[in-house]
Structure 1
Amino acid sequence: MLIWAVRRFVVAPAVVGLTVLMWVSLPLWLVGAAALSPLLPGRWRALRVLWLVVFYLSIETVVLLIMWGAWFASGFGRTIRRPYWEGIHYDLVQGVMWVFFREAKRVLRLSIETDGPTPDAHPGVPILVCCRHAGPGDSFTLIHALMHWYGREPRVVLKDTLAWDPMFDVVLNRIPARFITPNPAEGEDLESQIAALADGLDENDAFVIFPEGGNFTPRRRDRAIARLRRIGMERMAERAESMIHVLAPRPGGFLAALDAAPDADVVLVAHTGLDHLLTVGDVWRELPMDKRIVMRWWQVPRAEIPEDRAERIDWLFGWWERIDLWIQQNRPEDLPSDRS
Structure 2
Amino acid sequence: MRHGFRRLVLAPAVVVLAVLTWVTLPVWLLVAAALSPVLPGRWRALRLLWLLVLYLTTEALVLVVLLGWWLASGLGRRVRTPYWEGVHYDLVQGVMWVFFREARRVLKLSITTDGPAPDAHPGVPILVACRHAGPGDSFTLIHALMHWYQREPRVVLKDTLAWDPAIDVLLNRIPARFIAPNPGPDADLASLVHALASGLDENDAFVIFPEGGNFTEERRDRAIARLRRLGLERMAQRAEQMTTVLAPRPGGLIAALDAAPDADVVLVAHTGLDHLLTVGDLWRALPMDKQIVMRWWQVPREEIPQDREARIEWLFDWWERIDDWIKQNRPEDRGPRGG
User: Where has structure 1 moved over 6 Å in runs of 4 or more?
Assistant: none
CA distance in 1, matches of 2:111, 2:78: 37
CA distance in 2, matches of 1:27, 1:234: 61
Question: Which residue identity does 2:22 align to in structure 1?
Answer: W
Question: Which residue identity does 1:224 align to in structure 2?
Answer: A
SS in 2 for 1:206: strand
Per-residue CA deviations over 1:74-107 (Å, capped at 9, x if unaligned) read: 0110110000100000001011111111111100
The match for 1:80 is 79
CA distance in 2, matches of 1:326, 1:6: 43
The answer to whether structure 1 residue 6 and structure 2 residue 9 are counterparts is: no
SS in 2 for 1:13: helix
The match for 2:240 is 241
CA RMSD in angstroms comes to: 1.0
SS in 2 for 1:213: coil
The match for 1:55 is 54
The match for 1:330 is 329
The match for 1:17 is 16
Displacement of 1:187 in angstroms is: 1.6
CA distance in 2, matches of 1:165, 1:185: 23
The answer to whether structure 1 residue 270 and structure 2 residue 269 are counterparts is: yes
The answer to whether structure 1 residue 308 and structure 2 residue 303 are counterparts is: no
CA distance in 2, matches of 1:136, 1:203: 30
The match for 1:180 is 179
The match for 2:166 is 167
Question: Which residue identity does 1:240 align to in structure 2?
Answer: A
The question of whether the paired residues in 2 share the 8 Å contact of 1:273 and 1:331 is answered with yes
Question: Which residue identity does 1:324 align to in structure 2?
Answer: D
Instruction: After superposing the two structures, state which structure 1 stretch, 129-138 or 324-333, moved more.
Output: 129-138
CA distance in 1, matches of 2:2, 2:238: 39
The answer to whether structure 1 residue 122 and structure 2 residue 130 are counterparts is: no
Normalised to the residue count of structure 1, the TM-score between the two structures is 0.98
Instruction: After superposing the two structures, state which structure 1 stretch, 83-92 or 174-183, moved more.
Output: 174-183
User: Matches of residues 284-323 of structure 1 in structure 2 within 5 Å?
Assistant: 284-323=283-322
The question of whether the paired residues in 2 share the 8 Å contact of 1:37 and 1:47 is answered with yes
Displacement of 1:220 in angstroms is: 0.4
CA distance in 2, matches of 1:101, 1:249: 29
The match for 2:137 is 138
Q: How many correspondences in the alignment?
A: 339
SS in 2 for 1:235: helix
User: Matches of residues 172-251 of structure 1 in structure 2 within 5 Å?
Assistant: 172-251=171-250
SS in 2 for 1:123: coil
The question of whether the paired residues in 2 share the 8 Å contact of 1:90 and 1:153 is answered with yes
Instruction: After superposing the two structures, state which structure 1 stretch, 107-116 or 134-143, moved more.
Output: 134-143
The match for 1:110 is 109
SS in 1 for 2:268: strand
Displacement of 1:339 in angstroms is: 5.8
CA distance in 1, matches of 2:280, 2:68: 35
Displacement of 1:178 in angstroms is: 0.5
The question of whether the paired residues in 2 share the 8 Å contact of 1:131 and 1:268 is answered with yes
SS in 1 for 2:52: helix
The question of whether the paired residues in 2 share the 8 Å contact of 1:132 and 1:210 is answered with yes
The question of whether the paired residues in 2 share the 8 Å contact of 1:153 and 1:206 is answered with yes
Question: Which residue identity does 2:264 align to in structure 1?
Answer: D
Question: Which residue identity does 1:288 align to in structure 2?
Answer: P
Displacement of 1:279 in angstroms is: 3.1
Per-residue CA deviations over 1:6-50 (Å, capped at 9, x if unaligned) read: 111111111111111111111111111111111111111111111
**Identity between Structure 1 and Structure 2 (%):** 77
Per-residue CA deviations over 1:201-254 (Å, capped at 9, x if unaligned) read: 000000000000000011000000000001111111000000000000011111
The question of whether the paired residues in 2 share the 8 Å contact of 1:245 and 1:324 is answered with yes
Displacement of 1:336 in angstroms is: 3.8
Per-residue CA deviations over 1:105-141 (Å, capped at 9, x if unaligned) read: 1000111110000011100000000000003421111
CA distance in 2, matches of 1:246, 1:162: 22
SS in 2 for 1:288: coil
Displacement of 1:281 in angstroms is: 2.4
CA distance in 1, matches of 2:163, 2:149: 28
The question of whether the paired residues in 2 share the 8 Å contact of 1:130 and 1:269 is answered with yes
The match for 1:68 is 67
Question: Which residue identity does 1:287 align to in structure 2?
Answer: L
Question: Which residue identity does 2:314 align to in structure 1?
Answer: W
CA distance in 2, matches of 1:186, 1:247: 21
SS in 1 for 2:136: helix
SS in 2 for 1:66: helix
CA distance in 2, matches of 1:196, 1:252: 14
Question: Which residue identity does 1:155 align to in structure 2?
Answer: R
Q: Which runs of 5+ in 2 are unaligned?
A: none
CA distance in 2, matches of 1:33, 1:213: 38
